[in-house]
């Protein structure tokens, strides 16, 4: 039976470029404060139409490869119906269909249970919102 639910919002500055922002340390710090050695689930959610969350290896090139793949699949041209006044931005609204805006991850003994080299990252292609919010919620 669960006996705790704790949630917090983290502010992330992504700037005005396509980017991936590593949230792993923020997730771990949050769990150190609230999990107290318990098992449970960490839900990570971003309430933005042009951002998503991924669990991916970072630092070895996979992060750049993901952004390149998204540029290939979601080309910045005039094919998108949702243009918000110009060509291209509608593609950014397709991102959450490919990189979802949420992830639920296991917490074991109060620590995030990730595989070797895995990181939790915020992926954003939208360049119009340089500041993002990410909600961390622990259920345990």
Residue 8 · residue 136 · CB < 8 Å: yes
The rounded distance, in Å, linking the Cα atoms of 29 and 33 is 6
Q: Which fold has domain 5-139?
A: Jelly Rolls (2.60.120)
Contacts of 137 (CB under 8 A, 6+ apart): 5, 6, 7, 8, 42, 43, 44, 45
Strand, helix or coil at 91?
A: helix
Per-residue pLDDT of the chain (140 residues; tens, 9 = 90+): 457 899 999 999 998 888 999 999 999 999 999 999 999 999 999 999 889 999 999 888 898 999 999 999 988 777 777 655 555 567 888 889 999 999 999 999 999 999 999 999 999 987 778 899 999 999 99
The Cα–Cα gap between 115 and 100 comes to 20
- Give pTM, 2 decimals: 0.89
Q: What is the Cα–Cα distance from 117 to 69, expressed in whole angstroms?
A: 20
């Amino acid at each position: 039976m669960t006996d705790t639910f704790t949630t917090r919002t983290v502010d992330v500055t992504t700037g005005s470029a396509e980017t991936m922002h590593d949230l792993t340390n923020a997730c771990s710090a949050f769990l150190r404060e609230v999990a107290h050695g318990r098992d449970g689930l960490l839900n990570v959610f971003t309430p933005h139409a042009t951002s998503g969350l991924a669990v991916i290896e970072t630092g070895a090139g996979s992060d750049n490869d993901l952004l390149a793949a998204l540029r290939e699949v979601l080309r910045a041209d005039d094919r998108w119906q949702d243009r918000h006044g110009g060509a291209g931005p509608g593609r950014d609204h397709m991102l959450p269909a490919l990189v979802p805006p949420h992830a639920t991850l296991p917490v074991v003994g109060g620590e995030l249970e990730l595989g070797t080299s895995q990181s939790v990252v915020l992926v954003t292609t939208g360049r119009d919102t340089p500041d993002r919010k990410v909600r961390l919620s622990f259920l345990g």
